[in-house]
Amino acid sequence: MAESTTGMRKPVFAKVDQLRPGTSGHTLTLKVVSSKMVLQKGRSDGPQMRQMRIAECLVGDETGMIVFTARNEQVDLLKPGATVILRNAKIDMFKGSMRLAVDKWGRVEVTEPADFTVKEDNNMSLVEYELVNVVEE
């Protein structure tokens, strides 16, 4: 069997202003601006009771901000003022606006404080998108 010489790829870090609807596989370094719990309820599946938690966190970098939907354990990591690295993040659409999310295929990690200032006047989640079907004749 031939040995492969290709290693793991270096991640290409994206910026908030480069995010577009329906895209995935993003790696970003972001600061958490705010966090608000939107759903917290107990769930019984099996022997232990588990909490289901969802928080909407405003995160950003020097190019803009976006709403990140944090689920369960992710809620504990995204505290205001923290700097996080999101790996394999995707864009979900909610009522015509973009939301950043990390599912089971991605990862959220707290990292060293970043030295950039969040550009708070460019909130990408406030841009409303409309799906348009193009019919070719």
Residue ranges of the alpha helices (H) in the chain? 73-77
Question: Could you give the number of structural domains in the chain?
Answer: 1
Q: Considering the domain boundaries, does residue 53 fall inside one? A: yes
Instruction: Give the C-alpha distances (Å, rounded to integers) separating 119 from 30, 54, 61, 103, 116.
Output: 11, 25, 6, 26, 9
116 inside domain? yes
Q: Is residue 130 part of a domain?
A: no
Distance in angstroms (rounded) separating the CA atoms of residues 105 and 129: 26
Does residue 10 fall inside a structural domain? Answer: no
pLDDT confidence of residue 39: 79
pLDDT band at 62 (very low <50, low <70, confident <90, very high): very high
pLDDT at res. 104: 87
Average pLDDT over residues 10-19: 84
Grade residue 105 by pLDDT with cuts at 50, 70 and 90.
Answer: confident
Q: Is 89 among the domain residues?
A: yes
Q: The tokens 């290693």 sit on which residue? A: 7
Of all residues in the chain, the percent with pLDDT exceeding 70 is 87
The mean pLDDT value for 39-48 works out to 63
**122 is written with which tokens?**
């460019």
Domain hosting residue 93, numbered range: 16-124
> What is the CATH classification number for the domain harbouring 88?
2.40.50.140
Q: How many CA atoms lie within 13 A of 107 on its CB side?
A: 6
Q: Is residue 108 part of a domain?
A: yes
**pLDDT tens for each residue of 67-98:** 999 888 888 888 899 999 999 999 999 888 99
Mention every residue, 6+ apart, whose C-beta is less than 8 A from residue 31.
Answer: 59, 60, 61, 81, 82, 83, 84, 114, 116, 118
pLDDT computed for residue 27 by the predictor: 92
Task: Report the distance separating Cα 104 and Cα 99, nearest Å.
Answer: 16
**Three-state DSSP class for residue 109:** strand
Q: Is residue 9 assigned to a domain?
A: no
pLDDT over 90 (residue 14): no
pLDDT at 41 over 80: no
User: Which amino acid, 34?
Assistant: S
Bridging pattern class, strands 64-71 and 97-101: parallel
pLDDT at 45: 58
Checking if the pLDDT of 57 tops 80, the result is yes
- Residue 134 in domain: no
